[in-house]
Structure 1
Amino acid sequence: MSAVGTGRLTGKVAIVTGSSSGMGEAIARRFAAEGAGVVVNSARSARAGERVAGELSDAVYVQADLADAGAADALVSAALDRWGRLDVVVNNAGISPRLPHPHLSELTDDLWELVLGVNLIGPWRLIRAAEPHLRAHGGGAVVNITSAAGIRATENNTAIPYHLSKSGLNHLTVLMANVLGPQVRVNALAPGGIETPMWPKDSAALRASVSARTILARPGLPDEVADVCLFLATATYVTGQVLAVDGGLTVKVLRDVTARTAV
């Protein structure tokens, strides 16, 4: 492959799922800036994905829905066909339907299967398909993008299957770290309150809500998630960890509960 520069990922190849916008796009751009060849992916936004790939120094775009059984093989094949190797997998693609928790009658089997298929089974399939190639050169890495909602249950309107899928992905991270080590490191990054293009155009209320619930009193940015993802992809003595990137959201919840019960 033709890598550019002498960055921390020069000579490496990464798959970043769900990378046509938001956090995934920021991660793909950061990895490319550090010298990696990048497989950019989205399920539907082909034009956006092709744009991102076209703006990177060395990248290819693959449209694939992680809920489909063949998506993992298609992504791995794209990396091998283009560069002949695979070093990093970032499982970022996800779906988060909005549904208040008490609306149990609306939690259909189809919704459960869709959310778990994209958020949990899809990452598992990609790790399985990538495993021999991540092992091949040593120093392979997997970074699973989970959620603060997978660390601690919240009262927001993200459907219950989303919370369960992300907590499951956190647990899968620890299990895979044990299974794939020492050749491959597996870690998770759990964002909370990150301002992405998915936010509503008039997001003042949402921004205020996130700010009130975090110690750092503001939403996070996709580039801040990309910083931590790069760290986990290159930190050679870190594995089996779930790192919250949430401005202190989960800790502030604990602190507020402690303050109320101590009175």
Structure 2
Amino acid sequence: MSDRVALVTGSTSGIGAATARRLARDGYKVALHSRSSADVGKRMAAELAGASYHQADLADEQATRDLVAGVLKHHGRLDVLVNNAGQSIRIPHADLKAATPAVWRRMLDVNLIAPFVLVTEAEPALRKSAEEGRPGCIVNIGTHAGVRPKGASIPYATAKAGLHHVTRLLALALGPAIRVNCVAPGLVETPMTASWPEATELWNTRSAMRRPAKPEDIADLVAALVANDYVTGEIVIADGGLNLT
């Protein structure tokens, strides 16, 4: 495992940071990424064996393409891509006027188009990785709101639902050399959700597990999908059983 490289986007906090640390423990050299938080990324890279840090705004198509090129230049290979970086916005679903075309474009650019661009740039390296006997691996981070009519806003939920379907389409298009799966969390205790007390109350009272997820809960699931060389095209809901209610 000492030579295998995993790029985890949005990996200086929350799910991304937990996933980067988990994959590092599993023996991967991790390429860390963020749009800002460069100081945090550089500190994490210094802590994790063989890690590197790369800064890029994934709303910028060229910067997105350059991110993969930078990882390949630094590490010389890429075996796993975790499309974790995303952006949410809280808009009541009934407030249609607030979901402006500009909001729609931002949600689609960051949550759907950027992950697809990263996949297109990473595909040659992931196929080369498969020549060593294990399929290349992509794990997208979606949301339970891409499965049920829930979520912080209609544009966000729709963009993530698109990512779910892209996951299935790519699994067919890229297999068997590259596996593609998606983890769809519910509420996760991250800085992005800290100011959403009503959602926390919902998970504490109605989900089967009676709590939101911790970032490490999602990271463990990502790591399991990375470790399994057979599963592909799956959308794994990880919402503590809220979908059962």
TM-score normalised by the shorter chain: which range applies? over 0.9
User: What pairs up with 1:24-103 in 2 under 5 angstroms?
Assistant: 24-103=16-95
In the alignment, structure 1 residue 161 sits paired with structure 2 residue 151:
no
Q: How does 1:83-162 map to 2 (within 5 A)?
A: 83-138=75-130, 139-154=135-150, 156=151, 158-162=152-156
Q: Which residue of 2 aligns with 1:211?
A: 204
CA–CA distance in 2 between the matches of 1:111 and 1:207?
25
Residues of 2 paired with 1:241 and 1:10: CA distance? 27
Partners of 2:159 and 2:128 in 1: how far apart?
30
Task: Name the stretch that deviates more: 100-109 or 164-173.
Answer: 100-109
- 1:139-172 Cα shifts (integer Å, max 9, x gaps): 1000000000001111x5x121101011000000
Aligned residue number for residue 232 of structure 1:
225
The runs of 4+ residues in structure 1 deviating greater than 4 Å are 203-206
Aligned-residue RMSD, C-alpha: 1.4
Residues 1:175 and 1:216: Cα distance change in structure 2 (over 3 Å): same
Q: Alignment length, in residue pairs? A: 241
In structure 2, how many angstroms separate the alpha carbons of the residues matched to 1:177 and 1:10?
Answer: 26
How far apart, in 2, do the equivalents of 1:121 and 1:206 lie? 27
Distance 1:45 1:54 in 2: 15
Measured in 1, the distance between the counterparts of 2:97 and 2:201 equals 31
179, 183, 190: which one aligns with 2:177 = 183
TM-score, structure 2 normalization: 0.94
State the partner residue of 1:255. none
Q: CA deviation at 1:73?
A: 2.2
Shift of 1:132: 0.7
What amino acid is the match of 1:50?
A: K
What is the alpha-carbon distance in structure 1 between the residues aligned to residue 28 and residue 62 of structure 2? 25
1:204 shift after superposition: 6.1
- What TM-score, normalized by structure 1, do the two folds share? 0.88
Gaps of 5+ in 2: none
Q: 2: CA distance between counterparts of 1:75 and 1:247?
A: 33
The correspondence for 2:188, drawn from 194, 207, 210, is 194
Q: Which residue of 2 aligns with 1:4?
A: none
Can you list the C-alpha shifts for 1:98-147, whole angstroms capped at 9, x where unaligned?
Answer: 11111111111111111100000000000000001100020100000000
Shift of 1:198: 2.3
Q: Deviations for 1:209-257, whole angstroms, at most 9, x for unmatched residues? A: 21223111111110110100001112111000000111111122xxxxx
Alignment partner of 2:39: what SS? helix
| Unaligned residue ranges in structure 1 (runs of 5+) | 1-8, 253-263
Question: Following the alignment from structure 2 to structure 1, what is the Cα–Cα distance between the partners of residues 160 and 137?
Answer: 19
The match for 1:174 among 150, 168, 179 is 168
Q: What is the percentage of aligned positions where both structures have the same residue? A: 46
Task: Give the distance between the partners of 1:20 and 1:123, measured in 2 at CA.
Answer: 17
Q: Does 2:17 match 1:21? A: no
Kindly state the Cα deviation for residue 67 of structure 1 after the two structures are TM-superposed.
1.2
1:206 Cα shift? 4.2
Partner-residue secondary structure (3-state), 1:102: coil
Letter in 1 for 2:157: H
